[in-house]
Structure 1
Amino acid sequence: MLVPITRQTFEDLIPAAATGEQYKYCWGKPRDFLKRLLVSAVCLAVWIFLEYTVEGDALKILVFIAGIISCLFWLWMPVWEASWRNAKYRKYPYAGFLQGEILDFYISEAVTEQQESVNKRGELIIIENLERRINVEVGDESGFTTLIQAPLNRNHKRLRRGQVAQMVVMSYLDDLSEINEVSDIYIPSQNLWVSDYPYVRRDIFQEISRRFQSRRSPKKAPPSSKTSAIERYDPMNRYQQRYDDPEP
């Protein structure tokens, strides 16, 4: 089932600024931190050199500001990278909440890094670092299917075919008839995420998931026919307006 969500809900799910989980992801491994630290050290050396060579108060102020920013490259670079990733998703004008099921899943290997080395005979060789990844295919009753790939971890052993899977989908079309991008996968029965980069704010998504499930519960009376589609299905409920509805 695919349900449209409001623009406000979408922006809450994928904020413009990096979240804590996104910052942690973009922080990377220790070697990534060392690379950023090296860049900051080079910037510091250039800053010190310019401080003693440039003349003029205005130019000195510009050099001082640029020096501070560049020396903190190791700190703010993950924020910029995460915000840039978010911006690629936020460019889509329409979004929806999709609930389908796991059609299939399997394990594969992907090259994460290539290193050049020289063997004993002086020949150049390329060493590939491989990472085991989980591939999860999700589909719904409309025939839509998508494949998500993520680094394999031990929690993925809880995956089963037929489990309910939820995600946010994005489109350039207001009726969501063509899906251009999808977010992380959430398996509510296992409280399990399948993702590489954590695009959505998980606390908000889980709240939407709970409200969506409660509205679809058979114990509850069906909504009134007078209720609008977005009010009937939008789990956040505080956003009552479709994208194409006029402002009240």
Structure 2
Amino acid sequence: MALMPLPTDEVQRLIAVGAPTAIQYSTYWGRTAQEQYGRVLESAIVSFLGVSFSYFMSFVVGGFVATIFGSLFLFWGILSPELKAYQRNWEFLGGRELVDPWGVRESGRDPEDAGLYGALFLGYIADVCVVEDATTYSYEYDLAEFADYNMNDDELEKYTGRPYLLRLLVADKSVNGQDRDDIGGGRELQVHARLSDEYLDVRRGMPVSGILLSTSPRFDRLAAITDLFVPDAGCWIGDYPYLNRAEVEDLLARDDEIWDLLQLESNLEIDSYDNQGTSRTETGIATENAGRDSGYNAGIKKRFDVDDTFESFNAGSSWKNTEDGSSTWTSR
């Protein structure tokens, strides 16, 4: 089981959903030269038209009000990314309160209507490929074919206006060697992000971590997911940086239990076996997972000292992918 319930203060520390961070601000300035050029052009046009409008408005509402509006438009290029990042951060929580699963239980509140619960997801990359459209299951390109890819020279974007997308199938291992379709463990989640040259080192089987939010303590409904951290590739996968990267790196560096659990999720054998054209037997997988699972659940219980709550997560639900390529939760 790779969903670790987190107390509210730790969730707030690991995600940046208040005042925009520097990297969130820079995201709205664009990630490619073309996007940055478009942002500068948009800011210049808005500033020119806004200042002109404020000048003519001064004859109607007076110079003081017109000066305020004119100043806002003049600095629109600086203020716009800040305001958009604020809006994106607020939409992530949707105005809902982050709640502690243990505090809700003790207070007697309805657990299903208390707010958002946070959990640290530890898993591995079950599959990775490149696609042209996230809503269809069209041809999937091998990521290795894009070894020389550069975001500033995306051929698909030149002709269609839409860039290539990275498609990840993220999963956690089955429990005690049992098949993921027979038990509550073994979740799968498909995510998409714009392809970046930062992602070219991502491989199947690499461990991955992120923060999940749900309105249910059993996590049978997925409310939000952050970007994903792949330590072995040294990259953060996602179109917007919700994670507080410095805090996440610090957590993995100082907490040996979490780091060990993340490494247990590593499944690099699947990539090497695929390259050799062979596959492991069910017996081999069961033996390996049985060994990895030793002390696995106990480590999480020891860290949080809340057996009952952990069991509710362990008996939770699984992800299922819809036909349009999006991801949903399905209760076991």
Shorter chain as denominator, the TM-score bin is: 0.7 to 0.9
SS at match of 1:88: helix
Aligned with residue 39 of structure 1, among 46, 63, 67: 46
Q: Deviations over 1:70-126 (max 9, x none)?
A: 322121111111111111112352211100111111111249xxxxxxxxxxxxxxx
Whole-Å separation in 1 of the counterparts to 2:240 and 2:197:
17
Q: Is the 8 A contact 1:11 1:90 kept in 2?
A: no
Matched ranges for 1:55-94 at <5 A: 60-91=63-94, 92=96, 93-94=116-117
Q: Deviations over 1:140-197 (max 9, x none)?
A: 1423221221222334332222211101111112343322221111112232221221
Aligned with residue 228 of structure 1, among 286, 302, 305: 305
- TM-score normalised to structure 2 length: 0.57
The aligned counterpart of 1:185 is: 228
Aligned letter for 1:139?
Answer: A
Please tell me whether residue 5 in structure 1 is matched to residue 11 in structure 2: no
Distance apart, 1:213 and its partner CA: 4.2
Aligned with residue 16 of structure 1, among 18, 31, 35: 18
Q: Is the 8 A contact 1:44 1:70 kept in 2?
A: yes
Matched ranges for 1:7-156 at <5 A: 7-12=8-13, 13-28=15-30, 29-51=36-58, 53-54=59-60, 60-91=63-94, 92=96, 93-110=116-133, 128-140=160-172, 141=174, 142-156=185-199
Do the aligned partners of residues 64 and 211 (structure 1) sit closer, same or farther apart at CA in structure 2, a change above 3 Å counting? same
The aligned counterpart of 1:158 is: 201
Runs of at least 5 residues in structure 2 that lack an aligned partner in the other structure? 31-35, 97-115, 135-158, 175-184, 262-294, 311-332
Which structure is higher in helix share?
2
Aligned letter for 2:306?
Answer: A
The aligned counterpart of 1:121 is: none
SS at match of 1:178: coil
Runs of at least 5 residues in structure 1 that lack an aligned partner in the other structure? 112-126, 234-248
Q: Is the 8 A contact 2:4 2:300 kept in 1?
A: no
- How many correspondences in the alignment? 211
Which structure is higher in strand share?
1
Q: Is the 8 A contact 1:95 1:176 kept in 2?
A: no
Please tell me whether residue 202 in structure 1 is matched to residue 245 in structure 2: yes
Aligned letter for 1:165?
Answer: V
Aligned letter for 1:3?
Answer: M
Q: Is the 8 A contact 1:139 1:146 kept in 2?
A: yes
- Give the aligned CA root-mean-square deviation in angstroms: 2.9
Whole-Å separation in 2 of the counterparts to 1:38 and 1:224:
57
Whole-Å separation in 2 of the counterparts to 1:226 and 1:158:
32
Do the aligned partners of residues 225 and 30 (structure 1) sit closer, same or farther apart at CA in structure 2, a change above 3 Å counting? closer
Percent sequence identity over aligned pairs = 20
Whole-Å separation in 1 of the counterparts to 2:193 and 2:301:
41
Do the aligned partners of residues 148 and 211 (structure 1) sit closer, same or farther apart at CA in structure 2, a change above 3 Å counting? farther
Do the aligned partners of residues 62 and 134 (structure 1) sit closer, same or farther apart at CA in structure 2, a change above 3 Å counting? same
Whole-Å separation in 1 of the counterparts to 2:202 and 2:186:
21
